[in-house]
């Protein structure tokens, strides 16, 4: 974004949202905290490049904090467990840093997150877009069982490829045992599932806005314990799906995440409390992610091939579906 575009973006935002404290907080993270973290300290030094690691199947649990994984996952079932530093604090940033512009003809990517298609749709031998076919309109997300089914088919169809399996969970909406319902599916500020509902917290203006768990937590409309419980239940759904997948595939499997979430921890150099996962922020809660490895049967013999030049859908189909999801 050039200087002129940035100025226009800020001025347009000021006209529309000058009285919205959420907007002001997001701009502080976008223009002050994020650039400081990525360019000054702590930067991306030492962060893992997932394609350089040794695995046959890479399972990505979207928005999974390392401490949440350690609390909910059966760590003793894995042959090795450690934490690593992610290259992004949002899916878009993580995809750009790991895959965009790459040539991974030895890899098939099964994704429930549209940002993989948008940012790196031409980087893989095959891209299987569960978000196109398996989006659950009632639950406003891609259920983990649909991703497992697609992943099993991918392993059968491409026995000589590495496979990345990207679950939407534990990213909200929280659809586990302790469900927290909100207006829709919001990823990086873009929302699916309605225009939001009218809310009147004590410390913000009355306005129509998406009602996410992170908004609600900042506003005091839900407790941190309740959000943590629902967040964990969403992870349990995904972990159950991973167990189902491991029963049906062979090879070295690594389980990780693209980023975490913050639940009110303070960041620096401006000590604001942070909720969710703003881009560019390099706080531990956002970029420390699990890396759990399990060897299941024989290793897969991997061979490279050509990458596809487009996603499964053409450009118009992709934009239409992103619009349906509230991304455009």
CA dist 191 and 328 (Å) reads 9
CA dist 214 and 232 (Å) reads 15
27 belongs to a structural domain: yes
133 belongs to a structural domain: yes
CA dist 121 and 101 (Å) reads 10
pTM comes to 0.87
147 belongs to a structural domain: yes
Q: How does residue 10 score in pLDDT terms, banded at 50, 70 and 90?
A: low
Give residue-wise pLDDT tens across range 81-120: 999 999 999 999 999 999 999 999 999 999 999 999 999 9
| Domain containing residue 310 | 18-183+209-325
Q: What is the pLDDT of residue 27?
A: 86
Helix (H, G, I), strand (E, B) or coil at 171: coil
68 belongs to a structural domain: yes
200 belongs to a structural domain: no
Q: CATH code at 232?
A: 3.40.720
Give residue-wise pLDDT tens across range 163-181: 999 999 999 889 988 767 6
Best CA proximity match to 242, nearest among 145, 114, 161: 145
Give the total number of structural domains in the chain: 1
132 belongs to a structural domain: yes
Query: 11-20, 99-108, 120-129, 211-220 — which is least confidently predicted?
Result: 11-20
Q: Identify the sign of the CA torsion 123, 163, 192, 211.
A: negative
38-47: average pLDDT:
97
125 belongs to a structural domain: yes
Phi, psi (deg, nearest 5) at residue 208: -80, 125
191 belongs to a structural domain: no
């Amino acid at each position: 974004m050039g200087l002129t575009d940035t100025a226009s973006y800020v001025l347009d935002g000021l006209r529309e949202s000058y009285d919205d404290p959420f907007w002001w907080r997001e701009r502080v993270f976008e223009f002050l905290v994020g650039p400081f973290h990525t360019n000054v300290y702590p930067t991306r030094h030492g962060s893992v490049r997932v394609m350089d690691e040794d695995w046959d199947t890479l399972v990505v649990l979207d928005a999974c904090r390392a401490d949440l994984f350690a609390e909910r996952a059966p760590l003793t079932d894995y042959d090795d467990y450690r934490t690593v530093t992610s290259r992004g604090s949002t899916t878009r940033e993580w995809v750009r840093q790991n895959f965009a512009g790459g040539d991974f003809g030895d890899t098939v990517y099964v994704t429930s997150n549209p940002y993989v298609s948008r940012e790196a749709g031409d980087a893989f031998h095959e891209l299987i877009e569960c978000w196109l076919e398996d989006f659950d309109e009632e639950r406003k997300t891609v259920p983990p069982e649909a991703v497992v089914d697609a992943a099993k088919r991918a392993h059968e169809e491409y026995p000589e490829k590495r496979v990345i399996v990207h679950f939407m969970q534990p990213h909200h909406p929280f659809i586990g045992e302790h469900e927290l319902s909100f207006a829709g599916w919001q990823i990086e500020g873009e929302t699916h599932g309605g225009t939001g509902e009218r809310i009147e917290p004590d410390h913000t203006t009355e306005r129509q806005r998406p009602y996410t768990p992170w908004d609600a937590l900042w506003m005091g409309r839900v407790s941190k314990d309740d959000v943590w419980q629902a967040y964990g239940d969403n992870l349990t759904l995904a972990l159950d799906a991973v167990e189902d997948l491991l029963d049906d595939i062979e090879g070295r499997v690594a389980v990780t995440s693209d980023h975490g979430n913050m639940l009110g921890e303070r960041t620096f150099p401006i000590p604001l409390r942070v909720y969710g996962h703003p881009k560019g922020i390099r706080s531990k809660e956002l970029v420390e992610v699990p890396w759990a490895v399990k060897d299941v049967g024989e290793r897969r013999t991997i061979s490279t091939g050509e990458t596809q030049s487009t996603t499964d859908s053409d450009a118009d189909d992709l934009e239409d579906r992103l619009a349906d999801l509230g991304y455009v």
